[in-house]
Amino acid sequence: MSYTKKSEEKNRVALLVQYDGSHFNGWQIQNKGRTVQGEIEKALEVLLKEKIRTTAAGRTDSGVHALGQVIHFDFSKDISDISLQKLCISLNGILEKDVAIKNAYIVPQSFHARFSAVQREYLYIVYNHPQRNPFIIKRAMWVSYDLDMNFLHNISQYFIGEKDFASFCKKESTEENTKNTVRRIDEFEVTKNKEFIFFRIRGTAFLHNMVRIIIGTILDIYNKNKFPGYVLEILEQKDRNASGKTAPAYGLYLNQIIYDPPLSAMKSAYLS
């Protein structure tokens, strides 16, 4: 399938982006503070010599990292004049080292980084050891007490399915989220590698702070020696006050965005 556009039409490109969120005030451009969107748009303007506005698959908060953020943008140059590999290399040469373009794709005008996504996957990392690790500062949440993997696996299964996650949404959430707090979690896997525990959550969409509140609540239930099924009582209350603390932002990673057809089916700078 060809996505070549007429010369007077805009061309659309998608980028696979990774960043360390430690020194960003989140993804979205704000009046004050450094943002990932602001840095990428400035780099694109320098490279393409035109004002560029980007759209992301998901807005990450301050301190949250991304292994597989996807964005798209339109530009007026002929698509045949652009080498996707050169685009990645040039942008990475302009950007600071805490953000990188991993791949670039030519996509049709119908592609939308946010609305075309069929699933989103987040990863939350916990460092589980009695003593701190200087190498995981701003990379993982440190939990010094021993966590039981059977408990974590059992409790994770209660979140799977379509449910009202009002108890797992930030109180000051947007009006849109307040009206509809029903979301669907398709997969929730908990694995361990040495002293690191990985919570992998995949679903169609997520409420503001939803993953972080889920992790904080799991740890709260564990510490209070409640049964994993207590999650159902929290869900039924539909009240943020019923759930646990919000886990730190720096343990959260936007892991990947899933599309149908997948981005790997598009012309790209590198094989996915």
Asked which of 115, 137, 153 is the last residue of a domain, the reply is 115
| Statement: the pTM of the whole predicted model exceeds 0.75 | yes
Question: Quick one: 96 and 135 in the same domain?
Answer: no
Is 206 inside any structural domain?
yes
Task: Please tell me whether residues 172 and 217 are part of one structural domain.
Answer: yes
The pLDDT of residue 80 is: 66
CATH number at residue 174: 3.30.70.660
pLDDT of amino acid 112? 98
Task: Report whether 79 contacts 106 (CB < 8 A).
Answer: yes
Domain for residue 234, yes or no? yes
Give residue 3's pLDDT. 45
Q: Are residues 127 and 189 in the same domain?
A: yes
Last residue within a domain, chosen from 89, 115, 141: 115
Establish if 267 belongs to a structural domain: no
CB 75 within 8 A of CB 262: no
234 touches 108 (CB < 8 A):
no
pLDDT value for 7: 45
Q: What pLDDT shows up at residue 82?
A: 74
Same domain, 121 and 247: yes
Same domain? 81 vs 128: no
Same domain, 77 and 143: no
* Whether residue 217 sits in one domain with residue 233: yes
C-alpha span between 54 and 74 (Å, rounded): 8
Across the chain, which has 272 residues, the per-10-residue mean pLDDT values are: 52 97 96 95 95 96 98 84 89 98 96 98 98 96 98 98 96 61 98 98 97 98 97 97 97 98 95 79
The CATH code of the domain that includes 59 is: 3.30.70.580
pLDDT at residue 174, as a whole number:
40
111 located within any domain: yes
Query: To 5 degrees, how large is the angle CA 89–CA 95–CA 98?
Result: 110
Regarding whether 129 and 110 lie in a shared domain, the answer is no
Q: Are residues 108 and 173 in the same domain?
A: no
In which domain, by residue range, is 60 found?
11-115
In a shared domain, residues 93 and 140: no
Active site residues: 61
Residue pair 187/161 in contact (Cβ under 8 Å)? The answer is no
> Is 4 within the bounds of a domain?
no
**Number of domains the chain contains:** 2
The verdict on 95 and 126 lying in the same domain is: no
Within-domain flag for 262: no
Residue closest to 199 by CA, chosen among 144, 233, 244, 149: 149
Q: Is residue 265 part of a domain?
A: no
Looking at 115, 138, 171, the residue that finishes a domain is: 115
* Residue 260 placed within a domain: no
Q: Are residues 248 and 170 in the same domain?
A: yes
Cis check: omega of the bond before 261, within 30 degrees of 0: yes
